Structure 1
Amino acid sequence: MEAFIRNDQYNFIKSQTQILINGHGTVNNSDVLQALKALAKEKVLNVFDVLSEEQEELLLSVAEVRNKEQAEVFLETIKPYVIPFKSFTEAGVKKLFPKVKKLKVPSADSIDLTSISYVSWIDKGSNRKFIVAQEPYTQKLKGIQGTFKPINQKGICTLCHSYEEVGMFTAEIKGTVQGTFTQRGNYICQDSEACNQNLLTLERLHDFMLRLSN
């Protein structure tokens, strides 16, 4: 069976296992637990547009999770079916930012590509933050860049919608009049690794990339 689970979908499934663990730890009513299991199965299947019988059978075993140990076994079972983020090269990423000179790009070999939905880093040379994600339909890599100012406090991240240490990411966008620019920004996680782990859907990420692209 080929990989069919995106990182954000895997994170969502993981969140459902935690709900089941919490339920079994606090609820004694069998009817309530059965309803909780049914809801978990429904929610997990609903994050996929199409599933084969084999894929569906694999995912439905989420309902058997009762404790942390069982959750870990289940998640390890489905982990091999997570689709890795598109592999990239330094030269390929540099083409996404043609105006940036001497851009230093993180090595794809140093990143667990099955655990991310986007790549982000601070380039010390230009003191700017770079974000690379895959376009929703073509799966081609798309990049945006901007300034990033930590605010030294927690807030809601625009990308993962979690309560984390955030900062203001601001990008310059071409204005409606030729030669003019406007600034757009949003609060996003300071730690992109944590953000990737918190992503339960790609909708906000895609909207963010579109809105802050020239």
Structure 2
Amino acid sequence: MEAFIRSDQYNYIQDQTRNLIQGHTTTNDAAVTQALKSLTLEKVFKCFNHLNENQINLLQQVESIKDETEAIFFLSRLKQHIIPFPKLNEKEIRDLFPKVKKLKIPDINHINWNELSYLSWNDHGSNRKYFIHFQHGNYYSLRGSFKPSAQKGMCTICNEYEHVGMFTATLKGGGSDHLVRRGNYICQDSYNCNQNLKSLEPLESFIQLMKSQ
């Protein structure tokens, strides 16, 4: 079976399995349990536009989960079908940021591409944060200043309460000399943000806002 699950979809399914396990531990009512199982499966299927018979059979196994052990086995099977973020080498990353002369890039040998919906890293020396997103067969790059916050807050990308910072991008406005600055609070740790991400919509909305003129 070919890979068909995005990282954010896997995170969402993982979250639904936790809810299902919690439901089993808090009620002995068979009707309530059955309703929860049916709702969980419905939510999982809604993540996908098209599924073949083998994919349906794999995802349907979520209904049988009752405890943590069963969840671990189920999720380990799903992991084998995750679509990895398209790998990039150092040159390809540098080419996406042609205006940055001394670009510090992450150690690509230690990146788990299967767990990424987007690639991002911090350059603490210059107080900058870099993004690479892959959509519709193309890479999109984004860079901006980043100032960590002393308090936790809601991340615009993953919608979770995390250690965040203000990301600010500067771009040209309608006039050639007119600059526009846009900013929002996002996770300081992009790996944790990727782990929290359960839908691509907020990520794509964030990138669109930061890049639109």
TM-score normalised by the shorter chain: which range applies? over 0.9
TM-score (norm 1): 0.96
Unpaired runs of 5+ residues, structure 1, are none
Say if 1:106 and 1:121, in contact at 8 Å, map to a contact too. yes
User: Following superposition of structure 1 onto structure 2, how do residues 1-214 of structure 1 map, counting pairs within 5 Å?
Assistant: 1-135=1-135, 137-138=136-137, 140-213=138-211
Q: CA deviation at 1:207?
A: 1.1
Say if 1:103 and 1:125, in contact at 8 Å, map to a contact too. no
- Supply the distance in 1 between the matched residues of 2:124 and 2:46 (Cα, whole angstroms): 42
- Supply the distance in 2 between the matched residues of 1:80 and 1:179 (Cα, whole angstroms): 50
TM-score (norm 2): 0.96
Say if 1:83 and 1:114, in contact at 8 Å, map to a contact too. yes
- Supply the distance in 2 between the matched residues of 1:127 and 1:93 (Cα, whole angstroms): 19
Q: CA deviation at 1:105?
A: 1.5
- Supply the distance in 2 between the matched residues of 1:127 and 1:198 (Cα, whole angstroms): 24
How big is each residue's C-alpha offset from its partner over 1:182-210, in whole Å with a ceiling of 9 and x where there is no partner? 10001001111111011000011111111
Secondary structure, counterpart of 2:80 in structure 1:
helix
Q: CA deviation at 1:28?
A: 1.0
User: Quick one: which amino acid aligns to residue 160 of structure 1?
Assistant: C
Root-mean-square deviation (CA, aligned residues, Å) is: 1.1
Aligned residues with identical type, % of pairs: 48
- Supply the distance in 1 between the matched residues of 2:125 and 2:139 (Cα, whole angstroms): 23
- Supply the distance in 1 between the matched residues of 2:97 and 2:121 (Cα, whole angstroms): 13
Say if 2:170 and 2:179, in contact at 8 Å, map to a contact too. yes
